[in-house]
Amino acid sequence: MNRVGIKEVAKMAGVSTATVSHVINNTRFVSEETKAKVLHAMKTLDYRPNLAAQSLRNQRSNTIGLIVPTLPADTSNFFFMMVAQGIQQTLKKNGYFLLHSTNSTEGIEEEIEQIKLFNSKLIDGLIIASVSDDVSYLKDLVGDKYPVVFIDRKPKGIKGDCILADGFGGAYQATRTLIEKGHRKIGLITGSLGISTSRERFEGYSKALRDHDITYSDDRVVIASTPSFDSGYESAKKLMSSQDVTALFIANNVLTMGAMKYLQENQVKIPDEVAVIGFDDYDWTRITAPPLTVIQQPSYEIGVKAAEIMLKKISKKNAKNKEYRLPTKLIMRQSC
Partner DNA sequence: CTGAAAGCGCTTACAG
| Positions in the binding site for a second copy (CB under 8 A) | 1, 48-53, 55-56, 61, 70, 72-73, 75-76, 78, 81-82, 85-86, 88-89, 92, 97-102, 104, 116, 119-122, 143-145, 229, 254, 257, 260-261, 264, 282-284, 286-289, 291, 300
**Minimum CB–partner distance for residue 114 and DNA (Å):** 19
User: By C-beta, is 31 or 267 nearer to DNA?
Assistant: 31
186 phi and psi, to 5 degrees? Answer: -110, 125
- Partner from a second copy, DNA, none contacting 30, C-beta within 5 to 8 A by type: DNA
Q: Which residues bind DNA (CB under 7 A)?
A: 3, 5-7, 14-22, 24-25, 27-31, 33-34, 47-50, 53-54, 56-59
User: By C-beta, is 21 or 192 nearer to DNA?
Assistant: 21
Angle, helices 17-25 vs 32-45, to 10°: value is 90
How many CB atoms sit inside 10 A of residue 194's CB? 13
User: By C-beta, is 32 or 180 nearer to DNA?
Assistant: 32
User: By C-beta, is 90 or 196 nearer to a second copy?
Assistant: 90
Amino acid at 262: Y
- Partner from DNA, a second copy, none contacting 17, C-beta within 5 to 8 A by type: DNA
With residue 105 as reference, give the H or E element that holds it: none
User: By C-beta, is 8 or 203 nearer to DNA?
Assistant: 8
**Minimum CB–partner distance for residue 291 and a second copy (Å):** 8
Helix (H, G, I), strand (E, B) or coil at 165: strand
How many CB atoms sit inside 10 A of residue 244's CB? 12
Judging by DSSP bridges, how do beta strands 293-296 and 329-331 pair with one another? Answer: antiparallel
67 phi and psi, to 5 degrees? Answer: -125, 120
**Minimum CB–partner distance for residue 214 and a second copy (Å):** 29
- Taking the C-alpha atoms of residue 251 and residue 21, their distance in angstroms, rounded to an integer, is 54
21 phi and psi, to 5 degrees? Answer: -55, -45
